[in-house]
Amino acid sequence: MDTPHLDFEKEIWANNLLACGIDEVGRGCIAGPVVAAAVIFDSSHQPHDKIRDSKMLSPKKREELFDFIVSGAKDYGIGLVPASEIDEIGIVPATKKAMRYAIEMLGTVPSNLLIDAVVLSEIKIPQKSIIKGDTVCYSIAAASIIAKVFRDHLVIGFDNIYPEYGFSGHKGYGAASHYAAIEKYGLIDEHRKTFCRNIKGL
């Protein structure tokens, strides 16, 4: 398994500049928002050797690393685009919009962006799009953890409003139990209608 490193950041830090890692989660869900996070570490940061792509970590480990990241980062921002807007503009534009929102939430303007497999052409900040960036770039992996923990907490909260859908179990992804709940109870506002067209019973 690849271990994320700080090589990309060090190249930027060498010029006394600030690197910002950006990633998203929830792109493939059938319910809930797509969420992006932007994280800035400065050159004094002491890296945590357990930081990985959020998909490679247990929920408990993600929670622990979330606390480490937000306390050790120079700055971080979170952006989201809800299901209704995903249906309106499509998941790729929605993903980019969530990333732009995350950057806008930063209190510090980064010098360079390190982004997981996306180019933000509307952002006039030098950027590098890194394929599978969350597996090789430390800041992108950290951003994936921030986004994942934030989104999971948000979607688990849907259980308080829609308990019959079991969001705490599937987090809005297309699990069998989720499809079964949709077939039985129908769609709610949190569902991405364009992702649910082929579900039986709709």
Contact 152, 166 (CB under 8 A): no
Domain with CATH 3.30.420.10 in the chain: 7-157
Averaged confidence pLDDT in the chain: 96
3-state secondary structure at position 46: coil
Q: Could you report the per-residue pLDDT of 91-121, keeping only the tens digit for each?
A: 999 999 999 999 999 999 999 999 999 999 9
Q: Could you report the per-residue pLDDT of 116-170, keeping only the tens digit for each?
A: 999 999 999 999 999 999 999 999 999 999 999 999 999 999 999 999 999 999 9
- CATH architecture of the domain with residue range 7-157: 2-Layer Sandwich (3.30)
Alpha carbon dihedral 151, 114, 9, 16, in 10-degree steps, equals: -110
Mean pLDDT of 54-71: 97
Residue 62 pLDDT grade (very low, low, confident, very high; cuts 50, 70, 90): very high
Mean pLDDT of 15-31: 98
Three-class SS of 133-150: HHHHEHHHHHHHHHHHHH
Residue 202 pLDDT grade (very low, low, confident, very high; cuts 50, 70, 90): low
CA distance 124 to 170: 37
Above 70 in pLDDT, residue 25? Answer: yes
